[in-house]
């Protein structure tokens, strides 16, 4: 009962989906004990960060029906806020708190402007305007070298508490040395989990039900007496806040922030892939989608190189079967997912659950 309450009585539709979600969470918790290598931790830390990031996009697109491509702006604001805060204020915990708070305030202000813009421009036109806005902000960040470091970005140091050289204790059972980096990994996990649970609570509250009503039929929701403008604005601001926190976490983990890691089109493509494959109708789609896409980005190139015989790579099909073409095959996976599971893994499973008689 306590677990159901913690999850706001929202759980994946089928047993195998529930087990899959539990398995992913266990994997993320246990990764420092299973494989503490830098590559493994970087991969799972990215999954941890992108779960609330993709979930915040689902809150906006899947639950409210607002298609905005400006989400990378908020992710970037969070990253640059933490980077600049630790660089200018100092590598300490108060600097993180101050910078992420300022980042949230700035993101909320930008989200408010975007929400007001949605009153004048709708549907595909609004999506295109937000896409252009995201591209413009990315270009500005690339050129404002005095503030953002330009294309090179900003390198900064995390607080000494999270330094890889800091060693606290060892867990003999797993032969795991708990260093500052491992501690930071679990801080990321806890904050990301709290953000995800908060979003679960939001979408399963009366407020969240109104958002879903707006998504289905805004005119009808308005005729029932709901101020749809207020609800859409609140949803946009809330999703921006969670995206900002995710951006701050990602920058803190990398010790670096730049246009390529937060603001460029590849970041937007990543979260679009995640919600298409995982499903935009449930926040749990972010968990499954983030795992699949980041695993593919990390291992697909090596997998192709391992399974395709060298003779084929050197032949006329080499342009298609080379490991360097892994992004092409990622695109093929994306297109196939749209045709085979248009509602994503979670959405397709929920649709096939038999309704009670």
In tens, the pLDDT along 108-165 reads 999 998 888 776 777 788 888 888 889 899 899 989 888 888 888 999 988 888 888 7
Long-range pairs, 176-183, Cβ under 8 A, ≥24? 176/32, 176/33, 176/36, 177/36, 181/41, 182/32, 182/36, 182/41
Distance (Å, whole) CA 203 – CA 190: 20
Establish if 273 belongs to a structural domain. no
In whole angstroms, what is the distance from residue 347 CA to residue 351 CA?
Answer: 6
The C-alpha atoms of residue 175 and residue 172 are separated, in whole angstroms, by: 5
pLDDT of res. 354: 54
Q: Is there a domain that residue 321 lies in?
A: no
Asked if residue 318 belongs to a domain, the reply is no
CA distance 235 to 229: 10
65 secondary structure, DSSP code: -
> Mapping DSSP to helix (H, G, I), strand (E, B) and coil, where does residue 322 land?
coil
Nearest partner of 59 among 252, 191, 240, judged by Cα: 240
* C-alpha distances out from residue 340 to 81, 196, 289, Å: 40, 28, 15
Contacts of 76 (CB under 8 A, 6+ apart): 137, 138, 141, 247, 257, 259, 262, 263
SS3 190: helix
pLDDT of residue 300: 82
342 part of a folded domain: no
Encoded tokens for 328: 């092409």
pLDDT in tens, 218-264: 888 888 888 888 998 999 999 999 999 999 999 999 999 998 888 88
**Inter-residue contact 159 to 92 (CB < 8 Å):** yes
Lowest mean pLDDT among 59-63, 162-166, 234-238, 277-281: 162-166
d(CA 105, CA 261): 21
| 57, part of any domain | yes
Number of neighbours of residue 344 by Cβ within 10 angstroms: 26
CA nearest neighbour of 194 among 1, 48, 348: 48
- Across the range 277-293, mean pLDDT stands at 90
In this prediction, residue 357 carries a pLDDT of 44
Tell me the C-alpha distance between 339 and 108, whole Å: 36
Nearest to 245 by CA among 130, 74, 90, 93: 74
Q: What is d(CA 199, CA 135) in angstroms, rounded to the nearest whole number?
A: 27
Output the pLDDT for position 228: 85
Asked if residue 19 belongs to a domain, the reply is yes
Percentages (nearest 5) of helix, strand, coil residues in the chain: 75, 5, 20
Q: What is residue 350's predicted lDDT score, i.e. its pLDDT?
A: 72
| Domain that residue 69 falls in | 2-264
Backbone angles phi, psi at 224, to 5 degrees: -85, 0
**How far apart, in whole angstroms, are the C-alpha atoms of residue 353 and residue 13?**
7
The pTM assigned to this predicted structure is 0.91
Does residue 300 sit within a domain?
A: no
- Res 6: pLDDT: 60
Q: How many domains does the chain have?
A: 1
Within-domain flag for 206: yes
């Amino acid at each position: 009962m306590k677990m159901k309450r913690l999850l706001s009585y929202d759980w994946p539709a089928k047993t195998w989906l529930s087990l899959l979600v539990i398995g992913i969470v266990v994997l993320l918790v246990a990764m420092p004990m299973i494989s503490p290598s830098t590559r493994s931790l970087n991969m799972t830390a990215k999954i941890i960060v992108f779960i609330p990031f993709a979930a915040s996009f689902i809150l906006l697109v899947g639950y409210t029906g607002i298609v905005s491509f400006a989400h990378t702006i908020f992710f970037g604001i969070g990253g640059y806020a933490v980077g600049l805060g630790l660089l200018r204020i100092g590598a300490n915990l108060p600097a993180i708190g101050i910078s992420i708070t300022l980042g949230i305030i700035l993101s909320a202000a930008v989200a408010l402007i975007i929400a007001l813009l949605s009153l004048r421009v709708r549907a595909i036109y609004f999506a295109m305007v937000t896409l252009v806005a995201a591209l413009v902000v990315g270009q500005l960040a690339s050129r404002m070298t005095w503030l953002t470091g330009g294309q090179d970005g900003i390198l900064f140091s995390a607080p000494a508490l999270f330094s890889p050289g800091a060693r606290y204790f060892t867990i003999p059972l797993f032969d795991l040395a708990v260093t500052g980096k491992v501690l930071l990994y679990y801080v990321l996990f806890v904050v990301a989990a709290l953000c995800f649970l908060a979003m679960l609570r939001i979408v399963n509250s009366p407020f969240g039900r109104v958002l879903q009503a707006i998504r289905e039929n805004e005119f009808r929701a308005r005729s029932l007496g709901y101020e749809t403008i207020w609800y859409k604005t609140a949803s946009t601001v809330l999703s921006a806040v969670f995206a900002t926190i995710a951006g701050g976490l990602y920058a803190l983990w990398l010790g670096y922030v730049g246009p390529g890691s937060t603001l460029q089109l590849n970041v937007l493509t990543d979260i679009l892939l995640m919600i298409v494959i995982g499903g935009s109708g449930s926040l749990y789609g972010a968990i499954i989608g983030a795992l699949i896409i980041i695993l593919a980005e990390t291992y697909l190139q090596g997998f192709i190189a391992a399974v395709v015989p060298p003779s084929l790579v050197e032949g006329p099909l080499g342009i298609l079967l080379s490991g360097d073409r892994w992004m092409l095959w990622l695109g093929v996976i994306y297109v196939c997912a749209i045709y085979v599971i248009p509602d994503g893994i979670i959405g397709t499973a929920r649709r096939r659950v038999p309704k009670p008689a």
